[in-house]
Chain A
């Protein structure tokens, strides 16, 4: 891992699927260390595909991606030691208890059995699920499952955390709890790369924002710069309109 570089570097990234659908098109981005970087865009704009490429689940068609100096697709085993990932609408091992699920995932993240269990119990207390730790996941509510999936991404104390719509489908209270926790994590120096549809979340916690549409980067700025121009929704609409006219 190389120091003094952006933790996430994306250069001319393109992803075209076998059916010739272009999900990402010549996208370039850099994300410095220790910030919350937000990704905003309409449905089908390529946010999830970008996230999946960054965590090494999807192979880019062309272009370069580096996470902490390593290419995630080629060196996924190395990169995955330093990152955490919360997928969008994650599935769950419904027949496992919350504690068993976290201990299992912890061991797969490189912790030994007792370390994984200890870390799992700490995180369950931190997120407020300690009373449910021995219950099967299938008995959890949607919000509890999302909280469980969220803390699963923190088991290895990641340097970079990828969150794909971390508050999707949650009630206001559960959403608030997760946003609070995200802010707490950044205080430790973790870089967060998150996608969301909720402008209010972005205004509250994000430092930098990138807007993408049809797999292309439309605009990237600090949230202060967006705020200076008025409300975020207008800035978002303007950015999308401008690109559509150009195309």
Chain B
């Protein structure tokens, strides 16, 4: 009932905050650096040959995007962590949560209002980030990213973001300080990222067991299905993967259900049962 009011107000506060300006930098700077790096790879193919051990000797927009997508999730996830960690912990530390919770508003609505307003802005930022990168490739005469591949990579960034937003929302409910939630989120990001890279260098038998714990494994399948098996993440491991509908649905369930909605539901339940102190 109060969700539209909370959503609108959160949206206004978010766009006017200093943190948002910082996020804009974190979103757009990597796109610019990514474009410059692509330009280097395009004009100096020896770099990509050295990077891939001779497996690739020249680049096209698709390869550039794939390389970019191995790094871009880091700032994207960082923006998600910084904002989501503040949802409840920030209201608590600023002593404003008691204002909201003493109104006839369900605590779940407070959480959802913040979550959805950020998600909307986040989706726009990710789309802008990818658009900026794609435009830069076109301007630098490297080529154009096909629409379907552009869409699949945008979805991959959104998937990464939604996972970190949801998990950090849970951290935010569990802690009283934003910084603690940010550190927890940051630790998770680093651990997961290192884990994703580590998997690439493990023996095949071990990989088959451990890859199920890798976020890139699931995102790779979503990207693969949307792009009709034409685009993948380097971190996903398998670049010749054929993704069927079942794989896609299973991966979507893990990303949006288990890692997206489930932490949010747990956060709402915990918040409902928590004591809220105004001092």
Segment at the interface with B among A90-98, A211-219, A229-237:
A90-98
Q: State whether the Cβ of B246 lies closer than 8 Å to any Cβ in chain A.
A: no
Given A80-B102, A81-B104, A109-B104: A57 and B13 within 8 A (CB)?
A: no
Distance in angstroms between the alpha carbons of A76 and B275 in the assembled complex: 13
Assess whether B17 is in contact with A77, with CB atoms less than 8 Å apart: no
Residues 53-100 of A at the B interface (beta carbon under 8 Å):
55-59, 76-78, 80-81, 83, 85, 87-93, 95-96
Residues 100-139 of B at the A interface (beta carbon under 8 Å):
100-106
Q: State whether the Cβ of B194 lies closer than 8 Å to any Cβ in chain A.
A: no
- Residues of chain A within 8 A (CB-CB) of B106 are 77
- Indicate which residue in A85, A93, A95, A96 contacts B102 across the interface (CB closer than 8 Å): A85
Assess whether A56 is in contact with B95, with CB atoms less than 8 Å apart: no
- Residues of chain B within 8 A (CB-CB) of A108 are 2, 5-6, 100, 103-105
Q: State whether the Cβ of B212 lies closer than 8 Å to any Cβ in chain A.
A: no
- Indicate which residue in B2, B6, B101, B273 contacts A57 across the interface (CB closer than 8 Å): B101
Q: State whether the Cβ of B96 lies closer than 8 Å to any Cβ in chain A.
A: yes
- Residues of chain B within 8 A (CB-CB) of A96 are 13
Q: State whether the Cβ of A28 lies closer than 8 Å to any Cβ in chain B.
A: no
Chain B: number of interface residues, binned into ranges: 20 to 34
- Indicate which residue in B5, B13, B98 contacts A107 across the interface (CB closer than 8 Å): B5
What residue of chain A has the Cβ atom nearest to residue B110's Cβ? Answer: A108
- Residues of chain A within 8 A (CB-CB) of B17 are 95
Tally of contacts, chain A with chain B, CB under 8 A:
84
Given A87-B95, A93-B13, A107-B5: A55 and B277 within 8 A (CB)?
A: no
- Indicate which residue in A48, A91, A95 contacts B95 across the interface (CB closer than 8 Å): A91
Residues 169-202 of B at the A interface (beta carbon under 8 Å):
none
Distance in angstroms between the alpha carbons of A52 and B5 in the assembled complex: 25
Given A93-B96, A95-B13, A105-B99: A88 and B104 within 8 A (CB)?
A: no
Q: State whether the Cβ of B249 lies closer than 8 Å to any Cβ in chain A.
A: no
Given A90-B95, A152-B99: A52 and B13 within 8 A (CB)?
A: no
* Distance to closest chain B CB from A237 (angstroms): 26
Q: State whether the Cβ of B146 lies closer than 8 Å to any Cβ in chain A.
A: no
Assess whether A77 is in contact with B278, with CB atoms less than 8 Å apart: no
* Distance to closest chain A CB from B187 (angstroms): 25
Residues 12-56 of B at the A interface (beta carbon under 8 Å):
13, 16-17
Assess whether B105 is in contact with A57, with CB atoms less than 8 Å apart: no
* Distance to closest chain B CB from A63 (angstroms): 15
Given A95-B16, A104-B9: A85 and B98 within 8 A (CB)?
A: yes
- Residues of chain B within 8 A (CB-CB) of A164 are 278
Max chain A C-beta neighbours (<10 A), residue from B2, B17, B106, B279:
B279
- Residues of chain A within 8 A (CB-CB) of B100 are 108
- Indicate which residue in B2, B99, B103, B105 contacts A90 across the interface (CB closer than 8 Å): B99
Distance in angstroms between the alpha carbons of A241 and B40 in the assembled complex: 82
Assess whether B273 is in contact with A77, with CB atoms less than 8 Å apart: no
Q: State whether the Cβ of A169 lies closer than 8 Å to any Cβ in chain B.
A: no
Q: State whether the Cβ of A110 lies closer than 8 Å to any Cβ in chain B.
A: yes
Q: State whether the Cβ of B276 lies closer than 8 Å to any Cβ in chain A.
A: yes
- Residues of chain A within 8 A (CB-CB) of B148 are none
What residue of chain A has the Cβ atom nearest to residue B273's Cβ? Answer: A59
- Residues of chain A within 8 A (CB-CB) of B105 are 77, 80, 108
Assess whether A88 is in contact with B278, with CB atoms less than 8 Å apart: yes
Given A52-B276, A58-B277, A104-B5: A87 and B104 within 8 A (CB)?
A: no
Assess whether A52 is in contact with B275, with CB atoms less than 8 Å apart: yes
Q: State whether the Cβ of B94 lies closer than 8 Å to any Cβ in chain A.
A: yes
* Distance to closest chain A CB from B31 (angstroms): 28
Assess whether B276 is in contact with A89, with CB atoms less than 8 Å apart: no
Q: What are 25 residue pairs bridging A and B, where the CB atoms are less than 8 Å apart in the complex?
A: A48-B279, A52-B275, A52-B276, A55-B102, A56-B102, A57-B276, A76-B101, A76-B104, A77-B104, A77-B106, A78-B104, A80-B104, A83-B102, A85-B102, A87-B95, A87-B279, A90-B96, A92-B96, A95-B13, A104-B5, A108-B5, A108-B100, A108-B104, A108-B105, A110-B104
Query: Which A-B residue pairs are the 3 nearest by beta carbons?
Result: A91-B95, A87-B278, A108-B103
